[in-house]
Chain A
Amino acid sequence: MTVEAWLLGDPGRTPFAGHFRGRAALGDAWIEVVGRIGSDNGIVDAFPVARSMTNRLTELTPRASALGAGRHALARALWQIVLEPAPPPADPSVGGDLSLLFVSGDQRGLSVGGVGLAGVWRRDAGAAWASMVPRDHPLLSSRGIPPSLPGVLALDLAPEVICAAPRPLEADLPPIHLIAPRCGVRV
């Protein structure tokens, strides 16, 4: 069972400039990743950066298998990909506006991590959306490639969806009926 990870887009006509996503599995472990990168530079420049990130996320499983097993291996593989400089022809300065949310899980538990998030909410089966962390929680860090390996938040119960607002958006969840469309999720 996986948990969906959603990332809010900006208000306006082109909300998803620089958005990317990826998912991977390793044995019984899985990871869901959403993020955005390069959006400060506009729609056109953000696209190849985000595509490059999407393509690099396809390396998650082989990298994780070299690191061990379970959800932590997938999370470490993700940070390995994020922390290493983007290969040519990407601009090495890209990444200062990175926001990223991931959820990883296995039979032993769930982990949530990220960078550049202003707010994180969960929706449990049959329940309303609820904020997961207070505003001063370490999960809500500033944007950009983190200088070191960030920690993760462990969850006891699996929600259906975890949604995050990337900085510099405010930590405000849209009205319930707009959350999925604002995240580019179509049913």
Chain B
Amino acid sequence: MTPDELAGLDPRRDLALIQAGVNEELVAGRSPAPLYRALAERDPVALVQVIVGPQAPIGAAAARAALEMIDLLEASMTTHGLYRRLSDLAGEASIDVLTMAASRHPLGTWLVALSARIEGPNAGMVHLHQVVGHPAFTAACWSHAEAGHRNALLAVAVNSRRPEPAAALLATGAIDEAAQAAAAILSVAPSSPVLPWLAAVWGPNLDPIIAAIAARLSDDTARAALDAWLLPATSPPLPEIEPA
């Protein structure tokens, strides 16, 4: 169905025909996006019905075309419900749906559940990487940590070199993962304030955490970084005595 053919239809009365037209485009390997755009101009409510209604098309191509209409869709229903529905329909493009959701709603607490639904054992990967550097990053780390999304927190800690994911892991008792993240960060970014963050979460009895980090350090640079953080100079160093 072309946009011109659509022009001869009544969007409300002929919804089933339009739906069939969308499916024809998909079966033919064409994107329904031009059809969606034409329908959006004539009857946005009908378009929403076509895209996310009971007879909505299933599959990645349909979902990607739907994401082009995201402004209109978001204006028509709750964001949480919209993205959940789109992800159900999207098949392999569900990651695209999640990426869109995370970029437009980085503060959405519902992203945690949506991430689990779409990403399974890697839940949080898309959302957390999307919000690195955003004011919502810390809150997102804590939300995903509370949901047990440890793989993603570990990955984003290593990739971003930021301390918040390690701190969030520690806050939820994931000591091994927090130590692993901290060790990885110190190896590549010795000046990253991961230890101050861990201490601020854990409290002053930091020895078990330090031991867990030290056990995971594999190079001298990282060990030197750990020492530098732990032993701020308490007095100027004494002059060295020449060996006899």
Q: Which residues of A are interface residues toward B (Cβ below 8 A)?
A: 9, 13-17, 19-21, 34, 43-44, 46-52, 54-56, 87-90, 183-186
Contact = CB atoms under 8 A, between A and B. Distances in A.
A20 B232 contact: no
Contact of B203 (A9, A44, A55): A9
Given A51-B232, A87-B234, A87-B235, A14 B193 contact: no
Given A16-B199, A20-B204, A184-B205, A44 B234 contact: no
A88 B236 contact: yes
Contacts of B142: 13
B229 A54 contact: no
Given A14-B200, A16-B199, A19-B203, A44 B232 contact: no
Interface size on B, as a range, is 20 to 34
A47 B193 contact: yes
A13 B138 contact: yes
Contacts of B196: 17, 43-44, 46-47
A47 B234 contact: no
17 contacts: A13-B138, A15-B201, A15-B203, A16-B199, A16-B202, A17-B199, A17-B200, A19-B203, A19-B204, A34-B204, A44-B193, A44-B196, A46-B200, A47-B199, A47-B200, A88-B233, A185-B203
Interface in B161-200: 167-168, 171, 193, 195-197, 199-200
A131 to B, nearest CB: 23
A15 to B, nearest CB: 7
Interface of B: 138, 142, 167-168, 171, 193, 195-197, 199-205, 229-236
B47 to A, nearest CB: 42
A87 B204 contact: no
Interface SS, B side:
helix
Given A14-B167, A43-B197, A46-B196, A52 B234 contact: yes
Contacts of A9: 203
A141 B177 CA distance: 41
B236 A50 contact: no
Nearest to B164: A13
A55 B232 contact: yes
A184 B233 contact: no
Given A13-B171, A44-B196, A51 B203 contact: no
Contacts of B234: 52, 55-56, 87
A-B residue pairs, 9 tightest by C-beta: A184-B203, A47-B196, A14-B200, A48-B232, A17-B200, A21-B204, A44-B193, A19-B204, A16-B203
A20 B142 CA distance: 24
Contacts of A89: 232-233
A8 to B, nearest CB: 11
A184 B232 contact: no
A47 B201 contact: no
A52 to B, nearest CB: 5
Contacts of B193: 43-44, 47
Contact of B199 (A50, A52, A183): A50
Given A44-B196, A88-B236, A89-B232, A54 B204 contact: yes
A185 B235 CA distance: 31
A44 B27 CA distance: 57
Given A13-B142, A14-B167, A47 B203 contact: no
A108 B164 CA distance: 47
A14 B142 CA distance: 11
Nearest to A45: B196
A50 B231 CA distance: 11
Contacts of B167: 13-14
Contacts of A46: 196, 200
A15 B204 contact: no
A87 to B, nearest CB: 5
A183 B231 contact: no
Contacts of A55: 231-232, 234
